[in-house]
Amino acid sequence: MTTALRRLRNYIDGEFRDAADGRTTEVVNPATGEAYATAPLSAAADVDAAMAAAEAAFPAWRDLIPAERQKVLLKIADRFEERAEELIAAESENCGKPLALVRSEEIPPMVDQIRFFAGAARMLEGRASGEYMEGFTSIIRREPVGVCAQVAPWNYPMMMAVWKFAPALAAGNTVVIKPSDTTPASTVLIADIIGSVLDELGHPRGVFNVICGDRETGRLMVEHKVPAMASITGSVRAGMQVAESASKDLKRVHLELGGKAPVVVFEDTDIPKAVEDISVAGYFNAGQDCTAATRVLVHESIHDEFVAALAKAAAETKTGAVDDEDVLYGPLNNANQLKQVKGFIERLPAHAKIEAGGEQVGDKGYFFAPTVISGLKQEDEIVQQEVFGPVITVQSFADEKQAVEWANGVEYALASSVWTKDHARAMRMSKTLDFGCVWINTHIPLVAEMPHGGFKKSGYGKDLSAYGFDDYTRIKHVMTSLDG
């Protein structure tokens, strides 16, 4: 007996709609490998409709005083808390994530982030007004950029949607957001929440719109004439394509792309504590995190002891069902991602040694064992390229100079960490590591007040913080004559 699939729909101008041409894709629960829903495969007509709605809503939303936009965001945050269990269930089905971890690790920070940007809406910054030329007064206006086309990833579809819509709406922009084709469910639910708040407070329905679809849908959004800004969290390849497409009409672009975070462990480190924290930061969310602690560089004097302890921690780390409160992470997001992770393992060079894991777990879904690989060289594929899975690699370095060289010796530059009791060394490393974030004796904590974003092929632009808010604004100089 076949169970009917749930039907997800686009959210355009305050209405849930199927794709104009009726096309759909199946949405698969990665914990079971089985389809549970269908979602629109949106095309040009759907993108046109969403952009028209956002464009029509923009003037009224832009012209609201910040305090009114703050009220909307604060109510959205309240509604997230009220409907938390719905959001948890949707995200768990979306991604196969353990329910308890979504409840404890995603809902609270998302609510906090929305409230942070609600406050940021009322803290517009600019240079001091004044007379910089005799007889004239200059002032700075900080304004929203316009309609924002936003593309969210599948690793944290719900939280990344928040990182995008919250600063955009707070700054006075309107939004058309596309979730990944593998994880649309929680974003569609977010549309229901935001839409109900906009209705209750009497604001235009087109302020927030959701379009489901694939890469072609995203391309149509980025190339559309209406958006003033394109924002994407995704792969380097996707980011490059967005930047190229946006360049044709000089759209502003915000890119948060891949990562290959070095975790530099010196000989004076508290090994048990470091191993405990690094294993969690490496395996959380199945390693599907651009900042995951998956590339460990450890001093040669403690290498063997550290690897043995890390392999033991991996063996004790559990992956499994969404309702098992003892698991640290769920499955990889989709069949293609499972294939990619397996491919890295299959192509390991002869000098590499699998210390733990290295194989798929179970006979359904896309689960992969927590893995540790040692004996690697700087030029190895698995060291240079983002695996995006629960795989931690370990290299042995001789001194601080070599540690810095190897840490910086990749194309990514999003996040990093240093583990040492030597304060001066930690400060030197934080200066020389070429990454957007350097953690010291920790890895992966984020706060709404501090920026998240990288350099090099990890992209440009910041999420979170006042810097992230500023990315969704433009600056205008107004000069007036004092002659009357």
Q: Which residues belong to the active site?
A: 256, 290
φ/ψ of 234, rounded to 5, equals 180, -155
Instruction: Compute CA distances 332 → 53, 179, 289, 308, 381, whole Å.
Output: 35, 17, 11, 25, 20
Provide the 3-class DSSP secondary structure of residue 8: coil
Compute the distance between CA of residue 365 and CA of residue 332 in angstroms, rounded to an integer: 8
Within 152-305, strands assigned E span 174-178, 208-210, 229-233, 252-256, 262-265, 295-299
Report the chain's C-alpha Rg in angstroms: 23
Provide the 3-class DSSP secondary structure of residue 79: helix
- Token output for 291: 């900042």
Query: SS3 letters for 306-366?
Result: HHHHHHHHHHHCCECCCCCCCCCECCCCCHHHHHHHHHHHHCCCCCCEEEECCCEECCCCC
- Angle at 378 (CA atoms; ends 372, 381), nearest 5 degrees: 70
At how many degrees (to 10) do helices 157-170 and 66-82 cross? Answer: 160
